[in-house]
Structure 1
Amino acid sequence: MSNTAPVKSAVRVPGALAAPSVAFLAVFAAYPLVYVIGLAFTDSTLARPLQRWTGFDNFRTALESQSFTGSLRRSVLFAVLAAAVQLVLGTALALLLRARARRPGLLGTLLLLPLVTPPVMVGVAWKLLLAPVGGALNGALHAVGLPGVNPLGSSTGAFVTLVVIDSWQWTPFVMLLVYAALLGVPDALREAAALDGAGRWRTLRSIVLPYIEPTLLSVLLLKLVIGFKVFDIVYVVTAGGPGFSTTTSTYDIQRTALQEFDVGGAAAATVLFSLLIGLVTSVVAVRRKRHEEVAV
């Protein structure tokens, strides 16, 4: 008699059970997508959408706009730079917490406070902190006899400041996800590495980090998407300035739709921006897929 266990056939889910999910996706995902694409190919304003078919005119106008093309470059730079900084800092904090204890404790809770703060409040707090006149930072510098600074007054300083603010808020999120992944690393792997004479750095580089690499890539992918969508802190802290130095694509699209009332142009820019996000994030997604295939 064969000892092979019988293979169970896949169970089909009745259509009635799947209907609510399908309806939800159709209403909240498919319909807005189709509507945005319709706006992108028509002459549309806030008051009169879908007036006249214009073909690819809106896309051509967006690509010829130095404001929009420049915002695409800044969005890519911001998303990649912020994601890289937060992944490094979040992983380092997670390793420190893991070395300290298996529970985050009070320190871990305090580190999560920026994550639960509304983005608008984060922007307001940092803008007050960095204000050139009456700001807390310059007040502290003047108190110790140092000259004041105005990081928001220059193009580079304002852009770097936005990266710092975004990292301050989202690094705890990365830390939390990486910390959870570190808890899943088997102690047997660490013990075997120690028996082979591997030190802490070698164990980290050759055992721990490769083991949690899928999580790190997933976190990187998620943070890239979040970085591309940044809007709140740009709107509150710099309003896209000085000049256009911190105008990201989300801010430029908002201005096109709600200040210039060119909804068709904003929709076309949104489609192009979405394609760019898909292109950039696909690089990380392919790397993660290859890692899973090697692991299998």
Structure 2
Amino acid sequence: MWNAIKQNRWWIYQQERFPVFAHGTLIAVFSLAAVAYSAVLGGRYALELSAFAVAFATTFGFFLLLRIADEFKDFEDDCRYRAYRPVPRGLIGLNDLRYLAIIVLALQMLAALLLHAPLAMLLVLVWVYLGLMTVEFFAGSWLRRHPTPYMLSHMLIMPLIQLYASACDWLPQTSTPPAGLSWFLAASYANGLVIEIGRKIRVPEDEEPGVETYSVLWGRKTACLVWLSAMGAAGVFASLAADRVAVGGLTIVLLSLGWIISALLAFHFLTQTRTQSGKAIETCSGLWTLASYLLLGPVALLMV
């Protein structure tokens, strides 16, 4: 049976384009942080499991929808430059992904209505922004010529998703977000930039035709400096958010140490004659983000 599962085309697709277990771990921490942080801000020191379950399931759905949207947006370029990917090589069709997206949207709405009906309005807000991203805000040609506004506009989806995930906790309790949530959302935006930039920094040998990495667009040195700047901003916002839930000191110490390690890694990446790849920077971005959300969510909940 396990061999049959591994040979299934959807299993192969998730392995190559949306690794369920790897992504699921980070999404679980991402969702847990939002719900736990909201609970602590609201003076509630126990996690509502139903709120977390809906936040996790819906957030997982959002990230899957982002992947599906990318498959549609990048289809022509993938056929031209990356025919080895599952969609251009015919493993999964765009119609298959369209039906999957419809199922995900329906399940998200059902989960919102079952937990707390007003959540549906916030859910639609995230859908609308995701839809605008899919059509590249009706300015695709301009955005593709200006990669920085492209990145900054697309990363706004991150705090919107976190707003929804946190609302699974605070909206059933009150009609307004708790004071201090804005710093958490700002940290989510900056962490999104850390992940986005970090996964697109490569050595020349790993660059692919038709793939606009930041190491190509800006040069490796500038890309690393922007990556570290985004990480620094994320650290500042996370520390301000952490100060609202009594883990500010611990967050400052640990994230400062993390930033120093990241700076040393970037220096090594830029100065070594034979560097391995940009994979270490991508991994470091994930670990940084994971640490930030663990501090702001589970750790804060345990320490109050």
Instruction: Tell me which interval the TM-score lies in, with the shorter structure as reference length.
Output: under 0.3
Higher relative contact order (CA 8 A, sep 6+): 1
Larger radius of gyration: 1
Give TM-score scaled by structure 2 length: 0.24
